[in-house]
Amino acid sequence: MNIQLPALKYAKDALQPVLSEKTLEFHHGKHHQAYVDNLNKLIPGTEFEHMSLEEIIVKAPLGPIFNNAAQVWNHTFYFEALTAPGSCTTKPCDCYAKQWGSFEAFQEAFNKAAAGVFGSGWAWLVKTPEGALQIIGESNAGNPLRQGLKPIFCFDVWEHAYYLDYQNRRPEYLSKLWDALDWSVINARC
């Protein structure tokens, strides 16, 4: 199976001023593309060749095939949930306020977890098999599907996600990214 880079559903300058056109050009056009290309070079002739990305993520041993498959999936999931800042007319599901007391308290907890990921990685909001929401940080290509958790949304905290726009100011990137979330997509995953 040849893995394809999914097109963005918005123009590369649509996420300004939260994320610049330059960031999208590199992040989607170079980084995401490179994970797709790497995976397409790694899987031919292996047991993973005809598996879905999700199957590879769950079954591959830690290493290059897992890393590239998870990074393809993670980035697709991240970009899908973004939209032009301020354009989303759908309200977040009230599940966050129910579990954290208020939406703001949830945001604060999520940002804290995302800021606390040491080095490259991802912050995830997931649903457990029991139906509870949980915030988790993952290093590098980490993906919660591997632990049987259902991903709801993620913030990419690799420096390549924010360095061109925010340099070392990860907390500022995190606080601004909320303005670019598409809750119609995220609520449908919840």
**Interface residue list for Mn ion (CB under 5 A):** 156, 158, 161
Closest CB to Mn ion among residues 32, 60? 32
State the minimum distance, in angstroms, from the CB of residue 121 to Mn ion. Answer: 10
Question: Which residue of the chain is nearest Mn ion when measured via CB?
Answer: 156
State the minimum distance, in angstroms, from the CB of residue 49 to Mn ion. Answer: 25
Closest CB to Mn ion among residues 93, 164? 164
State the minimum distance, in angstroms, from the CB of residue 120 to Mn ion. Answer: 8
Q: What is the DSSP letter of 96?
A: H
Closest CB to Mn ion among residues 32, 96? 32
Q: Which of 153, 13, 172 is nearest to 79 (CA)?
A: 153
Residue 39 and residue 69 in contact, taking contact as beta carbons nearer than 8 Å: yes
* Cα first-last separation, the chain: 29
Complete DSSP assignment for 101-163: SSHHHHHHHHHHHHHTS-SSEEEEEEE-TTS-EEEEEEETT--GGGGT-EEEEEEE-SGGGTH
Closest CB to Mn ion among residues 138, 156? 156
Closest CB to Mn ion among residues 66, 96? 66
- CA gap 165, 105 in Å, rounded: 26
| Angle subtended at Cα 69 by Cα 132 and Cα 154, rounded to the nearest 5 degrees | 35
State the minimum distance, in angstroms, from the CB of residue 35 to Mn ion. Answer: 9
State the minimum distance, in angstroms, from the CB of residue 105 to Mn ion. Answer: 27
